[in-house]
């Protein structure tokens, strides 16, 4: 942690949270200054009404103001991606872990290996209860041994996927309940009903 000099910027250094708890997951937003891409308003509204304890950004942000925007909704944990500005690589850890109750989560972008999933397994497989990763823009929930592999896809750049995506993860009663929220237009998210935290099955 000394490498980053505690320069978390708009992000929180907190890594332990109590359950029941719900947090949001977003990745690969690829938003640069003065371009036309932005986080869809529907995504921000979804996160705002979901009762989130915090948000996790899995890299390829690509500029700091995106994290500042998300931090207005909930505290943010983030890692940088291979397309992020040098400031974000200096400010943020390349990988991190956090805990919700007794459940452990590993966080990385996912570049540097044969595939994002392979890199996620190499870094955190069987070492945590759930690995959160991005890079591929491909939404995924997969069980690998005792570890849940979770990729929300991209909220802004679906590339080879049929849908944009974000994630909602609830930890309640010692269990992890991951949910992919896939959409083709941000306004469609206003129709999604969200159960109160602690009522996930």
3 assigned to some structural domain:
no
8 assigned to some structural domain:
no
Cβ–Cβ < 8 Å for 137, 153? yes
Separation of alpha carbons 163 and 153, rounded Å? 8
110 assigned to some structural domain:
yes
Cβ–Cβ < 8 Å for 98, 77? yes
193 assigned to some structural domain:
no
pLDDT tens track for 61-102: 999 999 999 999 999 999 999 999 999 999 999 999 999 999
Q: How many domains does the chain have?
A: 1
Provide the pLDDT for residue 198.
62
Range of the domain at 181: 20-188
38 assigned to some structural domain:
yes
Q: Residue 105: how many CA atoms within 13 Å on its side-chain side?
A: 26
Residue 197 has pLDDT above 70, yes or no: yes
Confidence of residue 161 (pLDDT cuts 50, 70, 90): confident
Domain at 148, CATH number: 3.60.21.10
Residue 200 has pLDDT above 80, yes or no: no
Provide the pairing of β-strand 164-172 with 21-26: antiparallel
Provide the pLDDT for residue 136.
95
Task: Please name which of 189, 158, 174, 150 lies closest in space to residue 44, comparing C-alpha atoms.
Answer: 189
For 146-153, what is the mean pLDDT?
97
Torsion angles phi and psi, residue 75, rounded to 5: -55, 145
Residue 41 has pLDDT above 70, yes or no: yes
5 assigned to some structural domain:
no
Provide the pLDDT for residue 150.
98
Confidence of residue 6 (pLDDT cuts 50, 70, 90): very low
Residue 143 has pLDDT above 60, yes or no: yes
H or E element at residue 89: helix 86-91
55 assigned to some structural domain:
yes
Cβ–Cβ < 8 Å for 146, 131? no
pLDDT tens track for 104-114: 999 999 998 88
For 151-168, what is the mean pLDDT?
93
For 172-185, what is the mean pLDDT?
95
User: Percent of the chain, pLDDT > 90?
Assistant: 79
15 assigned to some structural domain:
no
Lowest mean pLDDT of 13-17, 36-40, 150-154, 180-184, name the range. Answer: 36-40
State the chain's mean pLDDT as an integer.
91
H or E element at residue 87: helix 86-91
Torsion angles phi and psi, residue 153, rounded to 5: 75, -160
DSSP string for residues in 119-132: HHHHHHTTTSSEEE
């Amino acid at each position: 942690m000394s490498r980053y000099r505690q320069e978390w910027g708009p992000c929180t250094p907190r890594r332990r949270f109590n359950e029941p708890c719900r947090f949001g997951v977003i990745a690969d937003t690829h938003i640069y200054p003065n371009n036309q891409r932005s986080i869809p308003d529907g995504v921000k509204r979804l996160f705002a009404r979901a009762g989130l304890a915090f948000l996790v950004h899995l890299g390829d942000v690509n500029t700091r103001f995106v994290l500042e925007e998300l931090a207005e909704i909930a505290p943010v944990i983030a890692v940088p991606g291979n397309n992020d500005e040098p400031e974000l690589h200096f400010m943020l850890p390349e990988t991190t872990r956090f805990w919700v109750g007794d459940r452990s989560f590993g966080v990385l972008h996912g570049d540097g290996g044969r595939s994002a999933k392979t890199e996620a397994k190499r870094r955190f497989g069987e070492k945590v209860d759930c690995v959160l990763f991005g890079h591929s823009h491909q939404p995924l929930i997969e069980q690998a041994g005792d570890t849940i592999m979770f990729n929300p896809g991209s909220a802004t750049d679906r590339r080879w996927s049929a849908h944009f995506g974000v994630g909602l993860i609830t930890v309640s009663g010692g269990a992890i309940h991951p949910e992919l929220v896939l959409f083709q237009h941000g306004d469609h998210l206003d129709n999604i009903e969200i159960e109160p935290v602690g009522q996930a099955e």
